[in-house]
Amino acid sequence: MVWRMSTADRNWEERLRESGLRVTRPRVTVLALLHELAGHHTAEDINTTLVDRDVSLTRGTVYNVLDDLVQAGLVMRADRGPGTAIYELAETWHHHFVCRECAAVIDVDCVADERPCLPADLPGAQVDEAQIIFRGVCADCLASK
Ligand SMILES: [Zn+2]
Ligand SMILES: [Zn+2]
């Protein structure tokens, strides 16, 4: 695959710099891909897509890049319970609904709009995040019954 510097790439470079991360090709690639794919993806999905496109990043690099981007606040890592974590661009802080039947992951607005949105009774601890997983059956699954 030929790398071309597009307007979009420059935008990602700026976002990386603003978050205090060094601009590297793998970081820009992963950000651009998450933007293009939209929604939620596992690290393995991302790796597979890159392999399909002949992008030469090792699996280890993809995982490291995702970790760096999560720490910098550019990417959100969401837990959906059993199974692997999912990643998405961190546009706004939100929670997730996971359908028990089809495992669809749907964004749920955060009512507090700031983290942590729930108080935790943990004397002496510093809590900076509360991620909520809503569970049930999604509208599509309900409609197909
Ligand atoms: Zn469903
Ligand atoms: Zn989400």
Q: How does pLDDT run across 15-68, given as a tens digit for each residue?
A: 999 999 999 999 999 999 999 999 999 999 999 999 999 888 899 999 999 999
Which ligand has the minimum distance to the alpha carbon of residue 104? 1
Ligand 1 centroid to Cα of residue 135, in Å, is 10
Report d(CA 82, CA 78) in Å as an integer: 12
Q: How does pLDDT run across 12-27, given as a tens digit for each residue?
A: 999 999 999 999 999 9
Ligand 2 centroid to Cα of residue 58, in Å, is 25
Which ligand has the minimum distance to the alpha carbon of residue 97? 2
Could you confirm whether domain 7-78 is CATH 1.10.10.10? yes
Angle, alpha carbons 51-52-55 (nearest 5°): 45
Name the fold adopted by 92-143: Dna Ligase; domain 1 (3.30.1490)
Ligand 1 centroid to Cα of residue 98, in Å, is 8
Q: Residues 104, 59: contact at Cβ < 8 Å? A: no
CB-based neighbours (< 5 A) of ligand 1, an ion: 99, 101-102, 104, 138, 141
What does the DSSP 8-state code read for residue 108? E
Domain boundaries defined on the chain: 7-78, 92-143
Helix (H) or strand (E) holding 76: strand 75-78
